[in-house]
Amino acid sequence: MLLFLASALALDPTAIRDAVSEDRLLADMRELTGVDPLSDGTRIVSRSVSHPDIAVAEDWLFAAFSAIDGLTVTREPFAHSGPEPVANIVAELPGADPALAPMVVMAHYDSTASLDEGWQATTDPAPGADDDASGIAAILEIARVLASWEPGFARTVRFVGFSAEEVGLVGSTAHVANLDAPVHLALALDPVGHNPGDSDILWFSYDGRWVDEADALEALAEEISELSVTGVDEELFGGDARSDHYPFWQAGMPALHIGTFPLPPSYHTVEDTLAAVDPTFLFEVTVLVAARAAEEAEPLPEEQPGGCACDAVGPASWLVWVIAPLAWRRRRPS
């Protein structure tokens, strides 16, 4: 287990960074994009919802989440217009307080190469490395890191791999429609692997109703990230109905769309391979989102020798090094 929040590291800003593995990120992407074979020797050719391999990708993601101790993993089937049955994969790290709304970290696992002339969705490749195997690899790694904190969290953290994003946000729309209660905050990673011009710039889009969430992510990034992280109001962005955050917005739930811009030339083509992905950039995105998700999930105190669950590492206090100096920045001037 990665006890990255042990008391000696609880207030250390390098703790989560040390826990995230670039090797695991790349290993997941290599299998999800068909570069490496799966355990049975087969390779995923495409993750288009019209290709038979979408079922292979679904099973792969279900197994990957199921291999993480502490997660409860389910399939969430839904109807769509294509020939293959599809489902979202939902993995929950249960929180200690069921009254608290869950934190959601999400990406989509389907892919497309629809911008290639003559591309056939039912038969042709669609590796979708940047869009959005990068996001899936990141949320898997975040799940591993958070699940390794043995005291757990006050708030449930829900990890969702959506399907049918590329054909109209169908999976996320179905998921939001079936929610029993609102979520605390959702973070959509799509796509997060490409580093245009090696600029190390990460963008995110936010809705003005939740500007405090945008401020909090930018403030955290200034403290712990090697990236330049900038939020853009979706109105200035010309609207942002481009990813799985959007159904949450429509339902009145706070969400951020985290991604890179401009998109690579390989976007939605068969050339969206690992060559489009900067592993170090993806690592930095994963560190930042893991830290933000853990902050909102409120880590429970670690049991100290002698049975003391000391207040020094109480809920969210492991990020005191972030929260204390930044608390005033989470309020915009009136």
Residue 5 has a CB neighbour count (10 Å cut-off) of 26
Boundaries of every domain in the chain: 15-330
Going by the DSSP 8-state scheme, the letter that residue 194 receives in this structure is -
Rounded distance between C-alpha atoms, residue 330 and residue 334, angstroms: 12
Rounded distance between C-alpha atoms, residue 273 and residue 147, angstroms: 30
From the list 75, 98, 101, 135, the residue with the least C-alpha distance to 253 is 101
- Residues 166/112, Cβ–Cβ less than 8 Å: yes
Structure tokens at 120: 């056939």
Burial class (CB in 10 A: 0-12, 13-18, 19+), 1: exposed
From the list 173, 163, 30, the residue with the least C-alpha distance to 88 is 163
Has domain 15-330 been given CATH number 3.40.630.10? yes
For residue 285, give the 3-state DSSP assignment.
helix
Per-residue pLDDT of the chain (334 residues; tens, 9 = 90+): 343 333 333 423 478 999 999 999 999 999 999 999 999 999 999 999 999 999 999 999 999 999 999 999 999 999 999 899 999 999 999 999 999 999 999 999 999 999 999 999 999 999 999 999 999 999 999 999 999 998 999 999 999 999 999 999 999 999 999 999 999 999 999 999 999 999 999 999 999 999 999 999 999 999 999 999 999 999 887 789 999 999 999 999 999 999 999 999 999 999 999 999 999 999 999 999 999 999 999 998 876 555 555 443 333 333 433 333 333 233 233 3
Cα-based angle 238, 258, 322 (whole degrees, multiple of 5): 125
- In this predicted model, what pLDDT tens digit does every residue of 297-323 receive, in sequence order? 999 887 655 555 544 333 333 343 333
State the pTM of this model: 0.89
